[in-house]
Amino acid sequence: MKRLIIPTMVWGVIGLALVMSHAEQNPTMIHNDVKAAASGNNAFAWDLYAKVASAKGNMFYSPSSLSTALAMCYGGARGSTAQEMAKVLHFSLEPKQLHPAVAQLAHLLTTPTKPGQYQLHIANALWVQKNFRLEADYVEQMKHHYGTGLQEVDYITQAEQARLTINEWVEAKTKNKIKDLIKPGMLTPDMRLVLTNAIYFLADWAQPFEKDATYLEDFLLTADRTMKASMMHQTSHMMYMENDLVQVLEKPYAGNDLSMVVILPKKRGGLSDLEAKINNDHYDQWIKQLKSARIALSLPKFTMNTEYELSKVLPEMGMRLAFTNDADFSGMTKQESLKIGFVIHKAFVNVDEKGTEAAAATAVGMRLTAAAPADDPIVFKADHPFIVILRDKRSGTILFMGRVTEPKAAS
């Protein structure tokens, strides 16, 4: 069976046509459509978390990258295929509103309130087979709202060279953190299109940890097994809440536009129980309940490289038609009928005393069819598995999320 690929990734929206005013960057003035896009991204993020949480070990991914990549595919979907995608991805806006909102959200994310506070880059591109026709409206939509360029490659006679070219682009856009996204043999001569989207993030803490306050301590892996982890320590005021189930802490990055949220089960070894209960509504409530408190924080240094193949997970979540011969992507091309063949996502994160570096990339392959402050600090000791989230405080959107079950630090 012939196949047509559209891998997708996000790094820094380049040449984005939409320019936001100063008022639009004010969190109290963000357009309702942008809020809706951010809210949908978060709902999808937690739905996906629930589906992949059954796997063991560390977990880290970018719902923002995945949502953007699939939004680009959604731009070419029609009929029931589009309806299913919208439901799974929590796209509450009509397409004519959604794509401008995604573009405006990307612009907000990549534009610090004060220049130089952090780096967050997003980039998109369309890699099309020579002489393959994409619908002019689709190409214009991708260019206008996602900043994509249209670059010709030759999958028919130079498939391996096309793979290397696309992977080199991905590496460059993620500062060499995401490598070999498209594996050898994936781009066969019957491919026609690859859509790439990649995200790169680098930020210093607003209040860095002191390196001489980092030392080895026990981290509980299971009820009867521990490891030595490089635990960072700091006592200062941070945003915090707790209930009978969790402690939730928010530590800001420089400039206070972005932050890391740590969700720590109160019960040691209680992450699995928490994952069985938590959803986007819980998360929203906890974020709203955050208040300034003096915290004695212990947080492990950690680094992760993760990879996911989601072509089974997404249909299980309700996006079925897009992966079948009944898929309708006629808004993308009418030359040949397409369906999604695979969805691959890779992510990287490193957290240390200075700050955080993270990157992610998503590939979508398409086939042809046949609490209150106290005098004494509150102890927040993340010495057992926890959930971690990197978010934009202005829009509320989740950029990256995952869990730390074994905090291996970079050497």
pLDDT tens digits for range 324-350? 989 999 999 998 888 887 788 999 999
Tokens coding 140: 């214009």
Per-residue confidence at 7, pLDDT binned at 50, 70, 90?
very low
| Residue 211 backbone dihedrals phi, psi, to 5 degrees | -65, -30
The pLDDT score that the predictor gives to residue 222 is 85
Share of the chain above pLDDT 70, in %: 90
Q: Residue ranges per domain, the chain?
A: 22-204+304-368, 211-301+372-404
| Domain covering 211-301+372-404 in this structure, CATH number | 2.30.39.10
Q: What is the mean pLDDT of residues 113-119?
A: 91
Query: Biggest alpha carbon distance in the chain?
Result: 70
Residue 294 CB contacts under 8 Å (≥ 6 apart), including other chains? 235, 236, 237, 373, 374, 376, 377, 378
pLDDT exceeds cutoff 60 at 6: no
The answer, as to whether pTM is greater than 0.85, is yes
Q: What is the pLDDT of residues 248-259, one digit of tens each?
A: 999 999 999 999
Which one has a higher pLDDT value, 29 or 325?
325
Per-residue confidence at 367, pLDDT binned at 50, 70, 90?
low
Coil vs helix vs strand at 53: coil
Q: What is the pLDDT of residues 204-216, one digit of tens each?
A: 999 999 999 999 9
CATH tag for 22-204+304-368 (out of 3.30.497.10, 3.40.50.1980, 3.90.230.10, 3.40.50.9100): 3.30.497.10
State the DSSP string of 95-110: HHHHHHHHHHHHHHHT
Sign of the C-alpha dihedral, residues 51, 52, 53, 56? Answer: positive
Q: What is the pLDDT of residues 62-77, one digit of tens each?
A: 999 999 989 999 999 9
The DSSP letter of residue 241 is E
Coil vs helix vs strand at 128: strand
Domain 22-204+304-368 shares a fold with domain 211-301+372-404 = no
229: region left, alpha or beta (phi > 0 left; psi from -120 to 50 alpha): beta
